Amino acid sequence: SAVISQKPSRDICQRGTSLTIQCQVDSQVTMMFWYRQQPGQSLTLIATANQGSEATYESGFVIDKFPISRPNLTFSTLTVSNMSPEDSSIYLCSVGGLPEYNEQFFGPGTRLTVL
Amino acid sequence: GESVGLHLPTLSVQEGDNSIINCAYSNSASDYFIWYKQESGKGPQFIIDIRSNMDKRQGQRVTVLLNKTVKHLSLQIAATQPGDSAVYFCAARAGDYKLSFGAGTTVTVRA
Answer yes or no: are the C-beta atoms of B48 and B60 closer than 8 Å.
Answer: no
- Identify the weakest region by mean pLDDT among A102-106, B71-75, B87-91: A102-106
Tell me the chain A residues in contact with residue B89 when contact means C-beta distances shorter than 8 Å. Answer: 42-43
User: What would the pLDDT profile of A47-85 be if each residue is shown by its tens digit?
Assistant: 999 888 889 999 999 999 999 999 999 999 999 999 999
Give yes or no for residue B8 having a pLDDT over 90: no
Mean pLDDT of the residues in chain A: 93
**CA nearest B102 in A: which residue?**
A42
CATH topology of domain B4-110: Immunoglobulin-like (2.60.40)
User: What would the pLDDT profile of B30-85 be if each residue is shown by its tens digit?
Assistant: 999 999 999 999 999 999 999 999 999 999 999 999 999 999 999 999 999 999 99
Predicted pLDDT of residue B96: 72
Please state, in angstroms and rounded to a whole number, the distance separating the CA atoms of residues B33 and A61.
25
Tell me the chain B residues in contact with residue A31 when contact means C-beta distances shorter than 8 Å. Answer: 97
- Asked if omega into A67 is within 30° of 0 (cis), the reply is no
Question: Helices (DSSP H) in chain B: which residue ranges?
Answer: none
What's the pLDDT band for B94 if we cut at 50, 70, 90?
confident
Alpha carbon of A43: minimum distance to chain B alpha carbons (Å):
6
Q: How many domains does chain A have?
A: 1
CATH code, A77: 2.60.40.10
Torsion angle (degrees, nearest 10) of CA B80, A107, B59, A97: 150
Tell me the chain B residues in contact with residue A111 when contact means C-beta distances shorter than 8 Å. Answer: 41
**CA nearest A46 in B: which residue?**
B98
In sequence order, the β-bridge partners of residue A68 are A78
Where are chain B's structural domains? Answer: 4-110
Alpha carbon of A106: minimum distance to chain B alpha carbons (Å):
6
What's the pLDDT band for A99 if we cut at 50, 70, 90?
low
Under an 8 A CB cutoff, do B32 and A108 touch? no
B19 SS3 class: strand
Predicted pLDDT of residue A100: 63
Domain hosting residue A101, numbered range:
4-114
